[in-house]
């Protein structure tokens, strides 16, 4: 699998390239806005990692290195387009307008997903690998039945392509022409397992076997990701069915804060990918073409610090859940057995309080 | 007189007519009308967009049903046979069951999963299982089963109207049982136990395919001078045990009959709860009659596996021996 097949619009050195198939109509102001997105996402992701190290979070899954894949695809969505993330799509959440502190709730142990997905058309994080690709496909089947102009994007990783659910989602989406974009971030590693242990062919080529197009894009090139995702979404909206996008990128951090990549991969690999950093190339482009000055970059840095600082105080100040929450949301309709269990436990807890009062 | 299978079909048709968001999906549910013909003629009436023939992948059926429900639809999924539900187990137990809780009540998944279950039809492997306990053990699901055509008709509609996911077990060897269906109004809510016939000496609890067995057992007992109260649980999660406790306190003797293996089966839970609630009223320990704790046997041995009239009478004799 040659990297030469990558769709690329912005080279790692920050040169604007022309891809004949994916022409991007984008203003300088929009590129500056994408740069801001990338910096904000990296900054709050770094802050969340620090919060975990300081004991404020039980776990964190870093998006470090995947900002362009997430921001580029997230910014391709229009209002009403629904995104189904894994547990690492912090950049997509940002693009969709989900407040960053909401993403940390589950990692702090406050909840299993602390935002209302309907507010931003951004589903809860899904931890069982690949399960959400079927939800995305079903949601897209609903859009079809509603005759709506929206589309769905399903996020998953390279490891997930080995899961049955992902392959079933490909099948369902294909036979029903469902308006869904399968966005695979191939970050080269599924915890300790390299991509070679998941597949013998380039992942984007899998789509051909299911009867829809697949494309490999430079996942560290925010402009190329934006262009490719927009095209796939347009195809979905036109009723032409799904597309598989393989965003070729790299997990620069660990799988999660519980992981130790030094046990299974070489530092040299990370050094090579640092040269393809998704943020540096945009900065380089803006600088070399005099499209942004030091003042602009300093302003972004300052804002990023403020975002990080707010994230820190928001999550540390976040209220712990109330005990009854264990019982309150299990069912939508009344459930006498849970009601009885809940009141028995609350009475039990209160029995201690009464004892203390005496 | 209408068969149980036809009654479910009628219940589905009425739900589809009354609510355009109701969908039916599964393998062979469209043109064929399902392998048991439960969805017969629905596709010709409601179209391919609402009666969806799916690819042959159970996790896909459930996973896409979840997505459709998130979009506001009310899918009724058919799993062709009990033993084929396991490929969809993650989607049911980790996704469908937990979505309402993990979304702090913001996302409702009104999905019904129809599972023809149980043995007695001389089938090959994986076509005769009673696996209701897996689902009753999973918080976030509701689990029900019908034993007669009238319940089948109404419970299907009530399950579709529920805003929670409902696993709907259909007693496949009773699909062809006939009885009257009252289309005017349901006699009970979805989560209510029915006292099928009253008695004073022993309470016989059952559900699904073995309710008919229980009624036959009670008739034999009556001839022997024993008055048996027969109860049809109907709802397996949540259980509705208040009428069971009342009955146990009256009779002092309880036998629970189901096809599923007795080890950690519904009978074990019910026996435990009866012991907790009715300890001083009991004249005998609560006894269970059920399937053995083995893989479902080949068809030529299933009569030994299935709890029948004689094995139930034997348990009743033992209950009276205390």
Q: Does A215 touch chain B (CB under 8 A)?
A: no
Tell me what percent of the residues of chain A surpass a pLDDT of 70: 97
Sheet holding A214-218, edge to edge: A82-84, A152-157, A180-186, A243-248, A214-218
Packing angle between helix A131-146 and helix B58-70, nearest 10 degrees? 50
Which position among B127, B137, B191, B304 bears the catalytic label?
A: B127
Q: Is B66 on the interface with A (CB under 8 A)?
A: yes
pLDDT tens per residue, range A179-188: 999 999 999 9
Q: Cβ contact (<8 Å) for A124 and B102?
A: yes
The whole-number pLDDT of residue A114 equals: 87
Instruction: Report CB contact under 8 Å: A335, B63.
Output: no
Mutate to test the interface with A, among B55, B69, B71 (most CBs of A within 10 A): B71
Q: Is the pLDDT of residue A172 over 80?
A: yes
∠ Cα A222 A226 A231 (to 5°) = 150
Kindly report, residue by residue over A341-351, the tens digit of the pLDDT: 999 999 999 99
Write the ipTM: 0.97
Would you state the pLDDT for residue B285? 98
Is it the case that residue A3 has pLDDT exceeding 70? no
**Do B2-179 and B194-321 agree at the fold level?**
yes
Query: Domain spanning B2-179: which CATH class is it, in words?
Result: alpha beta
Binary contact (B66, A329; C-beta < 8 A)? no
Q: Which residues of chain B have pLDDT under 50?
A: none
Q: Where are the domains of chain B?
A: 2-179, 194-321
Confidence bin at A355 (pLDDT 50/70/90): low
Closest-CA residue of A relative to B104 is A329
Cβ separation of A117 and B107 shorter than 8 Å? Answer: yes
pLDDT at A20: 86
Q: Which residues of A89-116 are buried (b: 16+ CB within 10 A; e: fewer)?
A: bbbbbbbbebbbbbbbbbbbeebbbbbb
pLDDT of residue A353: 72
Given this model, what pLDDT does residue B43 score?
A: 98
Angle in degrees, CA B162, B166, B170, rounded to 5 = 120
**Closest residue in chain B to residue A146, using alpha carbons only:** B71
CB contact under 8 A, A337 and B239: yes
Burial grade of B311 (CB within 10 A; 0-12, 13-18, 19 or more): middle
Given pLDDT bands bounded at 50, 70 and 90, which one contains residue A354?
A: low
H, E, C per residue of chain A: CCHHHCECCECCCCCECCCCCCCCCCCHHHHHHHHHHHHHHHHHHHHHHHHHHCCCCCCCCCCCCCHHHHHHHHCCCCCCCEEECCCCCHHHHHHHCCCHHHHHHHHHCCCCCCCCHHHHCECCCCCCCCHHHHHHHHHHHHHHHHCCCCCEEEEEECHHHHCHHHHHHHHHHHHHCCCEEEEEEECCEECCEEHHHCCCCCHHHHHHHHCCCEEEEECCCHHHHHHHHHHHHHHHHCCCCCEEEEEECCCCCCCCCCCCHHHCCCHHHHHHHHCCCHHHHHHHHHHHCCCCCHHHHHHHHHHHHHHHHHHHHHHHHCCCCCCCHHHHCCCCCCCHHHHHHHHHHHHHHHHHHHHHHC
Q: Residue B176: its pLDDT value, please?
A: 98
| pLDDT tens by residue, A62-94 | 999 999 999 999 999 999 999 999 999 999 999
Residue A238 pLDDT greater than 50, yes or no: yes
Tell me how many residue pairs between chain A and chain B have CB atoms under 8 A apart.
133
Q: In CATH, what class is B194-321? A: alpha beta
User: Which residues of B are less than 8 Å from A327 in CB distance?
Assistant: none
Nearest residue in chain A measured CA to CA from B191:
A335
| Position A2 pLDDT exceeds 70 | no
0.90 exceeded by the pTM?
A: yes
Which residue from B59, B107, B140 is facing A165, i.e. has the nearest CB?
Answer: B59
| Per-residue pLDDT at A357 exceeds 80 | no
Q: Tell me what pLDDT residue A1 has.
A: 40
Q: Is B137 a catalytic residue?
A: no
The per-residue pLDDT for A191 is 95
* CB pair distance less than 8 Å for A140 and B67: yes
Does pLDDT of A132 surpass 60? yes
In this structure, the dihedral spanned by the alpha carbons of residues A318, A322, A326 and A332, taken in order and rounded to 10 degrees, is -90
Confidence check: pLDDT of A358 > 80: no
pLDDT of residue B301: 98
Q: Check if A319 contacts B (Cβ < 8 Å).
A: no
**Per-residue pLDDT band at A108 (split at 50, 70, 90):** very high
pLDDT at residue A356 tops 70: no
| pLDDT band, very low/low/confident/very high, at A18 (cuts 50, 70, 90) | confident
């Amino acid at each position: 699998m040659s990297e030469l097949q990558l769709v690329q619009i912005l080279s790692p050195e920050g040169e604007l390239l022309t891809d004949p198939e994916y022409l991007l109509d984008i203003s300088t102001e929009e590129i500056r806005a994408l740069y801001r997105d990338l910096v904000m996402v990296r900054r709050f992701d770094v802050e969340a990692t620090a919060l975990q190290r300081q004991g404020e979070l039980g776990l964190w899954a870093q998006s470090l290195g995947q900002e362009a894949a997430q921001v580029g695809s997230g910014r391709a969505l229009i209002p009403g387009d629904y995104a189904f993330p894994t547990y690492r799509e912090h950049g997509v959440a940002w693009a969709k307008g989900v407040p960053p502190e909401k993403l940390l709730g589950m990692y702090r142990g406050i909840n299993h997903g602390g935002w209302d997905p309907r507010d931003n058309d951004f589903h809860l994080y899904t931890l069982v690998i690949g399960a959400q690709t079927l939800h995305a496909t079903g949601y897209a089947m609903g859009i079809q039945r509603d005759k709506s102009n929206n589309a769905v994007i399903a996020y998953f990783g390279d490891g997930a392509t080995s899961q049955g659910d992902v392959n079933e989602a490909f099948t369902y989406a294909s036979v029903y022409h469902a308006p869904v974009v399968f966005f695979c971030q191939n970050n080269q590693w599924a915890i300790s397992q390299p991509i070679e242990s998941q597949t013998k062919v380039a992942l984007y080529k899998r789509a051909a076997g299911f009867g829809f197009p697949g494309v490999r894009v430079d996942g560290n090139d925010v402009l190329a990701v934006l262009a490719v995702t927009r095209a796939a979404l347009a195809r979905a909206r036109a009723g032409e069915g799904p597309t598989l996008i393989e965003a070729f990128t790299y997990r620069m951090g660990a799988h999660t804060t519980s992981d130790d990549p030094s046990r299974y991969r070489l530092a040299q690999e990370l050094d090579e990918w640092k040269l393809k950093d998704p943020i540096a190339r945009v900065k380089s482009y803006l600088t070399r073409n005099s499209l942004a000055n030091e003042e602009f970059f300093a302003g972004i840095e300052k804002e990023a610090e403020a975002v990080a600082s707010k994230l820190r105080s928001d999550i540390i100040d976040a209220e712990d859940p109330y005990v009854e929450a264990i019982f309150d949301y299990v069912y939508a309709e009344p459930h006498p057995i849970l009601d009885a269990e809940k009141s028995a436990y609350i009475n039990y807890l209160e029995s201690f309080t009464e004892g203390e009062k005496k | 007189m209408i068969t149980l299978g036809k009654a479910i079909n009628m219940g589905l048709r009425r739900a589809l007519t009354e609510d355009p968001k109701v969908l039916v999906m599964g393998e062979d549910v469209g043109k064929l009308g399902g392998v048991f013909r439960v969805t017969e003629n629905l596709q010709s009436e409601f179209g391919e967009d609402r009666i969806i023939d799916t690819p042959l992948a159970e996790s896909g059926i459930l996973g896409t049903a979840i997505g459709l429900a998130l979009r506001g639809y009310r899918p009724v999924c058919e799993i062709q046979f009990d033993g084929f539900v396991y490929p969809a187990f993650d989607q049911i137990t980790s996704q469908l069951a937990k979505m309402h809780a993990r979304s702090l009540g913001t996302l409702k998944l009104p999905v019904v999963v129809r599972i023809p279950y149980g043995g007695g039809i001389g089938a090959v492997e994986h076509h005769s299982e009673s696996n209701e306990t897996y689902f009753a053990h999973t918080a976030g699901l509701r689990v029900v089963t019908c034993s007669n055509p009238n319940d089948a008709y109404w419970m299907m509609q009530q399950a579709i109207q529920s805003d929670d996911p409902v696993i709907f077990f259909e007693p496949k060897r009773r699909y062809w049982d006939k009885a009257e269906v009252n289309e005017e109004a349901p006699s009970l809510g979805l989560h209510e136990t029915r006292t099928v016939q009253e008695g004073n000496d022993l309470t016989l609890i059952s559900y699904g395919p073995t309710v008919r067995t229980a009624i036959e057992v009670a008739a034999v007992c009556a001839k022997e001078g024993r008055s048996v109260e027969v109860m049809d649980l109907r709802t397996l999660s949540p259980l509705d045990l208040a009428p069971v406790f009342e009955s146990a306190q009256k009779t002092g003797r309880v036998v629970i009959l189901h096809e599923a293996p007795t080890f950690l089966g519904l009978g074990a839970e019910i026996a435990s709860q009866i012991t907790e609630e009715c300890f001083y009223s009991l004249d005998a320990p609560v006894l269970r009659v059920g399937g053995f704790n083995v893989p479902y046997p080949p068809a030529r041995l299933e009569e030994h596996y299935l709890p029948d009239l004689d094995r139930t009478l034997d348990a009743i004799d033992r209950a009276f021996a205390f």
